[in-house]
Structure 1
Amino acid sequence: MILLVSNSRDITTDFIVAELRRRGVPFHRFNGDLADRAGLIFSVSEEGNASWSLMVEGHRVQATFRSAYFRRPALPDLGSELDVRFVDQVNGEWAALLNSFYSSLDCRWLSDPSLIAKAEDKPRQLALAASMGFSIPTATITNEFAQASAFVSSGPAVAKPLRSGRLSRGAEEQIAFTSLLDGISALDEASIRVSPVIYQRAVKKARDLRITVVGARVFACEITQIDATEIDWRRLGTEQLSYRAVDLPPPLADLCINLVNALGLGFGAIDLVQDWEDRYWFLEINPNGQWAWIERQAGLPIAAAIVDVLTGEAD
C-alpha cells in the first residue's frame, strides 16, 4: 500500500492518483484537512508495543505502508466549528499528532517530511548550491538598513521574500513577488527593520527554467520570456504563459540531481535562469514544489516518474 499525504484541494496529487489507478497500484490518500474524519489512533501497551491505525474507506487498518509521497499536507479545517479562542490550541494538538504519525512511518518517503522542512532553509540552499558548483547571484539576507542600502547601491538588485510571499488581510490575499529595486532611501529604514528580506544581484536573463528532479530523472522546462515576466514569471500565473520541454547540458543536469541528493530529498523543483551569455544561474529549490501544470503544459511525464519511485521501479 502506498500513502499519499496531501489535502483534499490539491490538484497535483490528483495526477498521482490517476497514475496509480492506471497501474492498478493500491494506495490511500490521507488528506490532512480531513484528518478529523479519518479516525487516526495511536496505541501503546504497558509492554511498549506501539501502533498507529486509521480509517481507509470505512475500515480501520494498521498504518503500514511500503512508500509515501509527502505532497501538500494541511491541518483539519475546523475554524467554523470552533470558538475562535480555541483555534490555535486545537491546531497545535493536530499538528503534534500528525507530525508524530508521519515520523513514525517506517517506509520510503518521497521525500521525508523532516528533510523537506530542513531543505526550505534558503541561506543553506544558496551556500550549498554555490559550494557544489552552481553559479549564484551575490545575495544578502538582512533586516539591517545599512547593509541593505549598501547592497542595493552597489549594483542592480532585486528583493524577494525569504520564506513566503503570501500576505493575508482577512479574506483578502496578496502575493509579494520578486521586485527590481531602484534604490533605498532613509524613509525605508523603519520598514526594512521589520522583516528580513533576500536582496540579490539582478541577472539579465534570456529565459527562465523550472527543473523538476525525481530520483535520478531530470525534467527541464523553459518558461515564456516576455516583458511582464522579466523579473518574476509568477506575476502572470501559470495558465497565462507557455512552456516547452528542453534539455539541460549534462553537467548541469547532474548538478541538479546532486543538489537534491545532498539535501536528502527524492524530489526537488529548482528555479534557474539563463543569461544572454548562456550562463545558468541558480535561484532556489522548492523541496515540495508544484509540478502538475508543467506536466500538463509541457507534456513531461512527472507523475509517472514519481510513481516509479513510489513503487520501487526507479531510484
Structure 2
Amino acid sequence: MPAGAPPVLVVTRLDDVTADTVISELNRRAVPVARLDPGNFPGTITMTAAFDTFGLSGILRTATRNVDLARVRSVYWRRPSPYAAPEGIDGQAGRWCAEEARYGLGGIVGALPGARYVNHPWRNRDAEYKPAQLATAERCGLTVPPTVITNEPDQARRFADRYGPVIYKPLRETDYLDDIGRALTVWIDDVGPDQIDDGMAHTAHLFQKRVNKTADIRMTVVGDHLFPVRIDGSPGVDWRRHYDALTYTLIDVPPDVANGVRAYLDAFGLTFGAFDFGLDSAGRWWFYECNPNGQWAWFPEPITTQITAAIADQLTNPPGAAT
C-alpha cells in the first residue's frame, strides 16, 4: 500500500457483506483500506513484525496489499475465518501450526500501536460469555429476566415450574452441521418441564423466563450513537426465524436504558454492541443479551446507512485518539 493516509485494516472473511458495506463507505471517503482474513495465513499472507526500543514495526502482506503495521489507523474486527494449518499438515502438527498462527499473527494484529479497534478481538472474546453479559447488565442497571444456567435436570425442571413459560437459548452460536454438511441453527424456543430430560446433564444449558413482550428491540450502539430499532410482526419467540414478516422502526431510548448500555460497553471496553431487548406492555425494556459483533446490515434504509456512517466515523478517527 503506497504512502499516504494511514489505512484501516478490516479483519474478516471474503463473504462478509456487512463489512463490504463499511468498506464501500470508507472507499467513498477516500480512506485507504486493507482486508485481512487470518484464516488465509500462511497461504496468501506473510508478515514480519519487529519489537525494539522504537516500538512495533513491520509489514503485513496479503494477496493485494502491503500494510505498514506501525501506520494502521484503525482495525475493524468483524468475522474472520478460523486459523488453520497449512495445506498438507494435519493432526497434532496441524493444530500446533494453527495455534502458533493465532498467537503470532493474531497477537500482532491485536497490538498495533495507536490503532483504534472496533472492537478489539480480546474485548469481543470477553464479552461473548452470556453469564458475564447477564451479570454485567444487572450491575449496569438493566433489567434482566430470571435466568438459570445448569446441567442438573431437576434444577431446570424446578425453574420451569416456578417461572414458566420458560425459554431455552444456546450459550453460544457454535457451528453445527448435519450429516451432509449443512449448517444447522439452534433456535431460542419455549420449553416445558416435561421436555427436560436427563440428557441435559451432558453440558450446560441456559433457561430464562419468557418475557410477555409486545415487541422486540435490537439496539445497535456505535460509540455515543444509539440506534434502537423496534421489531414488530414476529409470531414466535425467536424473531430471527421470521424476517419476511417483520417491520422495523427507529424509536427513542429511555434515559435509564441509554445509561445502562453505555455503562455496559464501558465495562467490557467495547466501542460497538448489538443489544437485544424485549419490550413488555408496561414499556419496560428487558435485557436479553449483547452481541459484541452482531449483524445490522439487513435493516431497511435509512437505518443501515446511519449505522454504516457511525462505524466509518469511528474507523477514520486519527490514530491514537481516545476510544
**Does TM, scored on the shorter chain, surpass 0.5?**
yes
Contact 2:150 2:156 in 1 (8 A): yes
Contact 1:5 1:68 in 2 (8 A): yes
1:234-270 deviation per Cα after TM superposition (whole angstroms, max 9, x unaligned): 123x455332222222332232222112211000000
Contact 2:277 2:289 in 1 (8 A): yes
TM score, norm. by length of structure 2: 0.86
Contact 1:33 1:74 in 2 (8 A): yes
Correspondence for 2:99: 92
Q: How does 1:247-286 map to 2 (within 5 A)?
A: 247-286=252-291
1:67-90 deviation per Cα after TM superposition (whole angstroms, max 9, x unaligned): 1111112235678x4365365344
Q: 1:197 aligns with which of 182, 189, 205?
A: 205
SS in 2 for 1:169: coil
In the alignment, the residues of structure 2 paired with residue 113 and residue 76 of structure 1 have an alpha-carbon distance, to the nearest angstrom, of: 14
Correspondence for 1:182: 192
Correspondence for 2:295: 290
Give the residue type in structure 2 aligned to 1:116: N
Instruction: Identify unmatched segments of 5+ residues in structure 2.
Output: 1-6
SS in 1 for 2:249: strand
TM score, norm. by length of structure 1: 0.88
Q: 1:50 to 1:105 in 2, by over 3 A?
A: closer
Q: 1:301 aligns with which of 297, 302, 306?
A: 306
Contact 1:110 1:266 in 2 (8 A): yes
Identity across aligned pairs (percent)?
Answer: 32
Correspondence for 1:40: 47
In the alignment, the residues of structure 2 paired with residue 49 and residue 213 of structure 1 have an alpha-carbon distance, to the nearest angstrom, of: 33
1:10-43 deviation per Cα after TM superposition (whole angstroms, max 9, x unaligned): 1111011110011111121112233331222234
Q: How does 1:1-315 map to 2 (within 5 A)?
A: 1-35=7-41, 36-43=43-50, 51-55=57-61, 58=64, 60-64=66-70, 65-75=72-82, 81-82=87-88, 85=91, 87-106=94-113, 107-156=115-164, 157-164=166-173, 166-170=175-179, 171-184=181-194, 188-189=197-198, 191-227=199-235, 230-236=236-242, 238=243, 241-294=246-299, 296=301, 298-299=303-304, 301-312=306-317
In the alignment, the residues of structure 1 paired with residue 123 and residue 68 of structure 2 have an alpha-carbon distance, to the nearest angstrom, of: 25
Q: Which has the higher helix share?
A: 1
In the alignment, the residues of structure 1 paired with residue 314 and residue 300 of structure 2 have an alpha-carbon distance, to the nearest angstrom, of: 17
Q: 1:10 to 1:112 in 2, by over 3 A?
A: same
Contact 1:52 1:101 in 2 (8 A): no
In the alignment, the residues of structure 1 paired with residue 311 and residue 298 of structure 2 have an alpha-carbon distance, to the nearest angstrom, of: 15
In the alignment, the residues of structure 1 paired with residue 306 and residue 209 of structure 2 have an alpha-carbon distance, to the nearest angstrom, of: 34
Instruction: Identify unmatched segments of 5+ residues in structure 1.
Output: none
Q: 1:153 to 1:59 in 2, by over 3 A?
A: closer
